[in-house]
């Protein structure tokens, strides 16, 4: 596998709960003007979630989950 490839993220219930809590806090902070986060919102979500889980995540991993949650 190449260094620039992203591995598939397996979401646990705890990870999902933490992710949703962080997203909700960013929505209340005004960083989600419509159906998507602005640049500041995504930066905050990525940083807070990476810090909470103690693992680095990229925009694409979290954005894919956001899109998936909106469909559900």
Tell which wins on pLDDT, 71 or 51.
51
At residue 24, the pLDDT reads 95
23 to each of 1, 5, 8, how far by Cα in Å? 31, 25, 21
CA 57 from centroid of its chain's CA atoms: 8
Q: pLDDT averaged over the chain? A: 89
Is the pLDDT confidence value at 6 over 80? no
pLDDT (tens digit, 9 = 90+) per residue, 28-42? 999 999 888 999 999
Structure tokens at 12: 């646990």
Listed in sequence order, the residues at least 6 apart from 44 whose beta carbon sits closer than 8 Å to its beta carbon are: 22, 26, 29, 31
At residue 71, the pLDDT reads 79
């Amino acid at each position: 596998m190449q260094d620039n490839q992203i591995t598939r993220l397996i979401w646990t219930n705890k990870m999902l709960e933490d992710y949703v809590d962080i997203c909700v806090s960013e929505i209340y902070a005004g960083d989600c003007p419509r159906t998507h986060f602005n640049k500041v919102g995504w930066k905050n979500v990525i940083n807070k979630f990476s810090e909470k889980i103690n693992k680095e995540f990229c925009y694409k991993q979290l954005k894919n989950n956001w899109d998936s949650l909106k469909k559900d």
